[in-house]
Amino acid sequence: MKTDQGNSESATVRLTIDGQRVEVPDGSVVLQAAEKIGIKIPRLCYHPDLSLEGACRVCIVEVEGIDFYVASCSVPVREGMVVATNSPAIRRARRDIVELLLDNHPRDCQTCERDGNCELQNLAYAMGVRERLFEGRRKNPTADESGSAVVRHPEKCILCGRCVRVCSEIQGVFNLSQHYRGFNTVVGPAELGPMDESVCIQCGQCINVCPTAAFLEKNNTEAVWAALADPEVHVVVQTAPSIRAAIGEGFGLPVGTPATGKMITALRRLGFDAVFDTNLGADLTIVEEAHELVRRLEGGGPLPLLTSCSPGWINFLEKFYPELIEHASTCKSPMSMLSTLVREYYAPRHKIDPKRIFSVAVMPCVAKKYEAARPEHLAPDGRPYTDAVLTTRELIWMIQCYGIDFSRLPNDLFDRPLGLSSGAGDIFGTTGGVTEAALRTAAEMVGGETVGRIEFLSVRGVEGLKEAPVRLGDKELLVAVANGLNNAKRALEAAAAGRRRYHLVEVMACPGGCIGGGGQPYPPRGTKILDPEILQRRAAALYQIDDNKQLRRSHDNPAVKELYADFLGRPGGEVSHRLLHTEYRAREPRGIR
Amino acid sequence: MNRSSTDNWPAVREASRKALPPAVLDFIEECREREHPKSALIAVLHRVQDECGHLGRDQLNAVAQLLQVPTARVYGAATFYHFFRLRPRGRFLISVCLGTACYVKGADQVNRRLMEELGVGLGETTADGLFSLETTRCLGTCGLAPVIMINDNVHGPLKPDDIPGLLERYIQRARKEEAGGKT
């Protein structure tokens, strides 16, 4: 059952909550009605974008005429209902419930990755749990740290089921389930096996929605600290577009504050020898992908073209829709393009022994850790082109650890030439951005008019799937933009069934695109993860950066022009094909759609 | 859209079919023709256990693919119910009755002696694959308390010291059957 307030029926229901009258659409639940009048009933397993679980019982309230407490997240409103959300007895019961949740939870807050960012910790404090009276049996399920991107610590799990729901309802992956029963229940992939051997597509949304630290990204900071401390190593870093739009949140800046300049200064202070911009990789991706699109429109390959920059999506394609692999753009992701150029172009030009280079990428993405380790992205010497991937969260922590006062830092600029980028590269971080960027360049290639901001229309009833007709030269194209893999599924099924003749389908695995990636900062206390408003503000920051740039189109970027003139030859040519493109294959276990 | 040779479904389907006995494959086919085939998951798992004795990794994965139920959910169901066994059962299943009468008459000591002699815990199987140990509720033979069942045979009343001899009889029987099978 979905609990969207977007109820099409106009019928409303009037009820009284804590003495205040409120009118809400029929079909709402008590918890939502209370929100409308400024009462935020404590909750844990509830999430407005996910189905109801009713598992944690934290949101209990009293309803007149019912002689037991009810969970306000799952009780529909009724005309004339009288609800009390507060009384000494309710508060005490809530506190006991949270205390019992803690009973089976490790007492290791100070050494836990989520210390200070933990919903359970915050809730326990808010409910007034000041001592732990119960000392019961503990379960000790086995942790799985084998994953290249996602690690699992089930001893911290409180069985709220949010990860199970996000994995199935938003991502359509169904990799997580509850195993065993009662006290022995454990959440994990099939067979509780290793994450990398499951159908996991490594998007990391389970990490985002987990209220504790039961899911985390693989920590790669140790390797980066070690490289930074070694004077023999030339440490290069690149940052994805979405980092600048979100990193400030880690230091108390308002959500949506662009922080490019401060971020670069912080990276230099951490000791990185060169600070490059993944946006340049994005610009190259655009030039190559636009070339691919134009070639396919001229009859040189299957349509629709599927974008390839989101590694979670690529994993999904290989596991769930392998028969559509040849539709995917062969372009490497912007990260992998830039890492390749660091080794193959930057190092020789600057007479640096490639063996001495350590290439770090800061990504909003957990799946990028998995991508970096793929055999397709190894250099000829067998080392990965990208040596370490850090999430936005990991970088925030490194900056804190180093004692850098981020909010007071001066601004700095990226290093040339791999740090110069167009605004088209910036908007790569948000859903629809890749399409817009690609069409800006494709329009030039076919000699047509410049494509402006595309007004996408939501496909009926689906927030995360949009489409738009676009004029490109003398052709009318239909493009689709999906974020969240369930929405990608919808687009692919529509295309496969012949209901839609798309020419280009952009897919980003995470809700909102990279700005909502699995490696982005946990939301500030009191806000919820995947909040559309947070995502919109981060996206607005990227569009603002784009609007303020002189350079708006990838192919106008002088660094891109120089790269093609000096090194790569032409888009889709022999050198760029060898260095900037990749290939995909069906992978097992095969996902169940 | 183009559906190209990168599709691994034919291979996955073939491998899945090989992992299951024909009777189960037929049953899955039958379920797929009905409405809501996914709701037949538990019934299918019953069939697999009937035919194979337990639910192995290959069988569970095959059920997931052929019934198109996410693998994690198949494992979720298989681990939720005590009835399903994920490991092969021993040749002789020992069920120790822990009903009230047996318990009062010392079933617990019998149980402990069995675990000692076999070197396994409850729900486990000996390394040689001969014995699995389980507990059960009242077998309806309280007059013989404390009783155990080994496959279809009831043994009781038992004292802990009867256990080694009893187990030895089954070991001898297995040896004889094996020798007989070879000649």
Do B49 and B124 sit in the same domain of this protein? no
B36 occurs within a structural domain: yes
Its domain, for residue B136, covers 92-179
Whether A371 is a known active-site residue: answer yes
Q: Is the pLDDT of residue A450 over 70?
A: no
Catalytic pick among A329, A333, A422, A554:
A329
The number of distinct structural domains making up chain B is: 2
Residues B74 and B102 in one domain: no
In eight-state DSSP terms, residue A170 is I
Q: What is the pLDDT of residue B180?
A: 78
Do B74 and B99 fall into the same domain? no
Question: Which tokens in the block code for residue A174?
Answer: 């169904």
Residue A9 confidence (pLDDT): 53
Closest residue of chain B to A491, computed from CA coordinates: B1
**CATH number of residue B169's parent domain:** 3.40.30.10
Domain closes at, from B57, B80, B103: B80
Claim to verify: residue B70 and residue B29 sit in the same structural domain: yes
Model confidence at A453: pLDDT above 90:
no
Tell me, yes or no, whether B96 and B168 share the same domain: yes
pLDDT of residue A1: 44
Residue A474: per-residue pLDDT: 85
In chain A, which residue's Cα lies nearest the Cα of B69? A592
Domain termination site, one of B47, B80, B113: B80
Q: Pick from A4, A28, A3: which is nearest to A15 by CA?
A: A28
Whole-number pLDDT of residue A266:
98
- Same domain membership, residue B13 and residue B63: yes
Query: In a 3-state reduction of DSSP, which class is residue A579?
Result: helix
Provide DSSP, A9-71.
S--EEEEEETTEEEEEETT-BHHHHHHHTT-----SS--TTS-----S-TTEEEETT-SS-EE
Q: Is the peptide bond before A141 cis (omega within 30 degrees of 0)?
A: no
Q: Per the domain annotation, does B86 fall within a domain?
A: no
- What gap in Å lies between CA A158 and CA A190, rounded to an integer? 19
Within-domain flag for B2: no
Kindly state whether residue B4 falls inside one of the protein's structural domains. no
Number of other residues whose CB lies within 10 A of the CB of residue A148? 20
Task: Decide if pLDDT at A460 tops 70.
Answer: no
State both tokens at A232.
């023999």
Query: What mean pLDDT value characterizes chain A?
Result: 93
- Claim to verify: residue B74 and residue B96 sit in the same structural domain: no
For A15-19, A45-49, A196-200, A242-246, which range has the lowest pLDDT when averaged over its residues? A45-49
Say if residue B113 is in the same domain as residue B162. yes
Count, residues in chain A: 593
- Note whether B118 and B131 are within 8 A (CB): yes
Please indicate, yes or no, if residue B169 is contained in any of the structural domains: yes
Residue B64: strand, helix, or coil:
helix
A306: which 2 tokens?
Answer: 């599927």
Burial class for A211, CB neighbours closer than 10 Å (0-12, 13-18, 19+): buried
Q: Is B1 part of a structural domain of the chain?
A: no
Does one domain contain both B170 and B100? Answer: yes
Entry pTM: 0.92
Provide ipTM, 2 decimals.
0.91
The verdict on B18 and B64 lying in the same domain is: yes
Hey, is A363 helix, strand or coil?
strand
**Buried/exposed A547-575: b ≥16 CB within 10 Å, e otherwise:** eeeebbbbbbbebbeebbeeebeebbeee
Residue B85, domain member (yes or no): no
DSSP code, position A551: -
Both B167 and B118 in one domain: the answer is: yes
pLDDT in tens, B130-156: 999 999 989 999 999 999 999 999 998
Same domain, B73 and B102: no
Report the alpha-carbon distance of residue A134 to residue B79 in Å, rounded: 29
Per CB-CB distance under 8 Å, the chain A contacts of B76 are 177-179
Strand order of the β-sheet with A465-472 is A305-306, A504-508, A475-483, A465-472, A457-458
- Residue B49 in any domain: the answer is yes
Q: Is the pLDDT of residue A4 over 60?
A: no
Smallest Cβ–Cβ distance between A590 and the set B6, B65, B80 belongs to: B65
* Residue of A181, A210, A152 whose CA lies nearest to B76: A181
Which residue among B29, B50, B80 closes a domain? B80
Question: CA-to-CA distance for A578 and A346, rounded, in angstroms?
Answer: 17
Is A592–B69 a contact, with Cβ atoms under 8 angstroms apart?
A: yes
Could you tell me the pLDDT band of residue A139, with boundaries at 50, 70 and 90? confident
Rounded to whole angstroms, how far apart are CA atoms A347 and A404? 29
A308-367, pLDDT tens digit by residue? 999 999 999 999 999 999 999 999 999 999 999 999 999 999 999 999 999 999 999 999
Most A CBs within 10 A among B16, B79, B87, hence the mutation to make, goes to: B79
Which of A155, A288, A371, A436 is catalytic? The answer is A371
